[in-house]
Each structure stands twice: as structure tokens, then as C-alpha cells.
């Protein structure tokens, strides 16, 4: 994934296993903080993060026309900020990437899947707040395997 340094503007390629860590910019050597925002994922980015992340990944399956999905967006953003450095939050637009949603048998949205080690640990349909999402991530963190 490409992350821009806030200090010098350099674009840095960061592997999925390092997105939840503090890394250094390749140009100016300043610190780049762990990802603290939801990642809008295309199929390639989703596969890279799902397979390569060494922390739990909360996937938000959503669509722009879905009212509850729109209402969930601030909670998703707050969750990403809360779990930065301990987990990643990924958004998948089911209209643009229906094949990803089909892999997880998503039939209603919003739908949330927690991945760990590339495997689905839990799945939840319906609107919830950031505290509940954080609990799912903590449960995945405490699950061995």
C-alpha cells in the first residue's frame, strides 16, 4: 500500500504486515504512524491486507445507497482511530467489488467481518457503534491461532 509521508510528501510503499506499525519514510526518515483511518480497498488491496496483516482486520462491507452504512461511517472511522497500531479497518464497497462480498456470503449490509491470519474469525450484520466493533477486534486479538 502507498502511504504519503506527512513531513516531506514522499510516497512510501508499506507492506500489509507493517501497516499497523510505526515505520520510517524512505526519503526523510521521519516516522510514519500506524494507519489510523479506514482503508478503502479494491480487490488487490483487500487481498494483500487480508493475507499479509499480522493484526486483526475489521472489514466493513457497505454501499453508498445504504442508509445504515452511511450512518456507520463515523463509527468505522472512530474504530480505526481507536485500534490504530493494534488492528486495521478496511472498507469494501459491495457495488464495486461484489466478488469480495460473495466470498464472505454477505447478503445484507452493513456487514462486518473480523479477519485474523487471513481467516474470518467473526461476522456481524447490522449497524453497531464503535465500542462494539472494538470488542470484536479485542476478541480476535485474544484468540489464539
Domains of the chain: 2-32 (no CATH), 39-141 (3.40.30.10)
- Helical ranges in the chain per DSSP H: 43-52, 67-83, 98-103, 130-141
Q: Packing angle between helix 67-83 and helix 130-141, nearest 10 degrees? A: 50
Residue 69 annotated among the catalytic residues of the structure: yes
Cell numbers found for residue 9: 510528501
Strands 11-13 and 2-4: antiparallel
Model pLDDT, residue 142: 84
Strands 11-13 and 31-32: unpaired
Name the catalytic one among 8, 25, 28, 66.
Answer: 66
Model pLDDT, residue 144: 55
Q: What is the mean pLDDT of each run of 10 residues along the chain (145 residues)?
A: 93 95 96 96 96 96 97 97 97 98 96 95 96 96 69
Cβ within 8 Å of residue 85, ≥6 positions away: 20, 21, 22, 34
Could you give the C-alpha distances from 141 to 10, 15, 27, 61, 105, in angstroms and in order? Answer: 32, 20, 33, 21, 23
Of the candidates 95, 60, 61, 99, the one whose C-alpha atom is nearest the C-alpha of residue 80 is 60
Residue 66 annotated among the catalytic residues of the structure: yes
Amino acid at each position: 500500500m502507498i502511504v504519503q509521508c506527512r513531513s516531506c510528501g514522499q510516497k512510501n510503499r508499506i507492506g500489509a504486515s507493517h501497516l499497523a506499525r510505526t515505520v520510517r519514510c524512505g526519503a526523510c526518515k521521519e516516522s510514519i504512524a500506524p494507519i489510523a483511518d479506514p482503508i478503502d480497498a479494491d480487490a488487490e488491496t483487500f487481498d494483500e491486507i487480508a493475507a499479509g496483516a499480522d493484526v486483526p482486520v475489521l472489514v466493513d462491507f457497505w454501499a453508498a445507497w445504504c442508509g445504515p452504512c452511511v450512518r456507520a461511517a463515523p463509527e468505522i472511522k472512530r474504530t480505526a482511530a481507536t485500534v490504530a497500531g493494534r488492528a486495521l479497518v478496511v472498507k469494501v464497497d459491495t457495488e464495486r467489488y461484489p466478488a469480495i462480498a460473495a466470498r464472505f456470503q454477505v447478503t445484507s449490509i452493513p456487514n462486518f467481518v473480523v479477519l485474523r491470519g487471513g481467516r474470518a474469525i467473526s461476522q456481524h450484520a447490522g449497524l453497531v457503534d464503535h465500542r462494539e466493533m472494538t470488542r470484536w477486534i479485542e476478541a480476535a486479538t485474544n484468540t489464539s491461532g
